Amino acid sequence: MLKTSQFDYTLPDELVAQYPADRRDGSRMMVLDRRTGETEILPFPAITEFLSAGDALICNDTRVLRGRMYARKNGDPGGARFELLLVNEIDAAERRWKVLLRPGKRALPGVEAALVDGDGQVNLVGDGFTVVGRSGEEAFEVRFHGAPVAELQQRYGHIPLPPYIRRPDENADDERYQTIFAAAPGAVAAPTAGLHFTPEVLAELAGKGVTRAAVTLHVGPGTFKPVSTEDAANHRMHAEEYTLSADTADLVNRTHRNGGRVMAVGTTSVRVLESCAAPDGTVMPGHGWTEIFLYPPYQPRAVDMLLTNFHLPKSTLLMLVSTFADREMVLAAYQKAVEAKMRFYSYGDCMLLK
């Protein structure tokens, strides 16, 4: 039995990054040699030293929704206050969405609510939603009214920073909590390994003959769901929508045929590629929903190197990282990162497993 408790570690609160580095590429990168367990800490732009002509860099191009909104029941300024988080669209024509709502006990079918602006004022133009009912165990279905949903996000939406960032979102988060290659709206959390890249770093990689391509995985709220079972195999993974294009699949396969290496930027890119990989590592294009849960002793089939941020203790993401290197080796590297006072989680530093 793979025990969840085997993926625990101690992290001082002050190492949880509350803000990004001053520059996107101003973070530090711990490089872990998977063969020897040796580590070194370098500036992030040194990533160009670990890729060569003929290698491929696969990024997740999902874009984070301005999906956190606030509302008042029945448009009453003194009415019950709702916090809403967009999850995914159910029906575009009917403007029905799957959402998380708090407090859920007040979200009864038929309840109406008016969205509030940044100053907490109830809007007077009819922008809001009606609760349709439950959508699974934890979510709800709502029908929006008023402006189109994209406009509602711009008027009333907030960047949904993770729960361990203990501050409200700020204007700067609109840019910094998106990768520079974000293109496909649909995520409730950023694919954070991609946040470190700048046009200059990407240009240097391209100049070396490294080919970059995209996959899409719309990160869902389940990414923050802790593993609640001691037997990790009993954890129920959340489903996330993905797309692997024919062009990206062809690049991955061609790279391997020609002796090159595939570096995945983030665990989300790994989830897409491994969801579409045959036992021999060949990937097939596709679109759908994946519930893949990667943990030891699984061995990645389609990915040779992983760039990733540091992850929460006892999380599915830490387990995924431990499929690239022995669990003990990964946790030893995490301990070194703590001792070096590296910055953890979404806005923190990163690790390259080579």
| Per-residue confidence (pLDDT) for residue 153, from 0 to 100 | 96
In the chain, % of residues over pLDDT 90: 91
Handedness of CA 334, 316, 292, 299 (dihedral sign): positive
Average pLDDT across the chain, whole number: 96
CA diameter of the chain: 65
| Per-residue confidence (pLDDT) for residue 225, from 0 to 100 | 79
Q: Domains plus CATH for the chain?
A: 4-64+173-353 (3.40.1780.10), 68-156 (2.40.10.240)
Residue-wise pLDDT for 194-216, tens only, equals: 999 999 999 999 999 999 999 99
pLDDT band at 339 (very low <50, low <70, confident <90, very high): very high
Residue-wise pLDDT for 105-151, tens only, equals: 999 999 999 999 887 889 988 999 999 999 987 899 999 999 999 99
Alpha helices in the chain (DSSP H): 149-156, 173-176, 199-207, 246-257, 267-275, 316-321, 327-339
Residue-wise pLDDT for 3-60, tens only, equals: 999 999 999 999 999 999 999 999 999 999 999 999 999 999 999 999 999 999 999 9
| Beta-bridge partners for 38 | none
| Per-residue confidence (pLDDT) for residue 181, from 0 to 100 | 97
**CA–CA dist 174, 182 (Å, integer):** 12
Q: HSE on the CB side for 286, CA within 13 Å?
A: 15
| Per-residue confidence (pLDDT) for residue 137, from 0 to 100 | 78
**Would you state the structure tokens that stand for residue 162, as one six-digit string?**
């993770």
| Per-residue confidence (pLDDT) for residue 224, from 0 to 100 | 80
Residue-wise pLDDT for 62-108, tens only, equals: 999 999 999 999 888 888 899 999 999 999 999 999 999 999 999 99
**CA–CA dist 224, 134 (Å, integer):** 21
pTM: 0.94
pLDDT at 238 over 90: no
pLDDT band at 226 (very low <50, low <70, confident <90, very high): confident
| Per-residue confidence (pLDDT) for residue 78, from 0 to 100 | 85
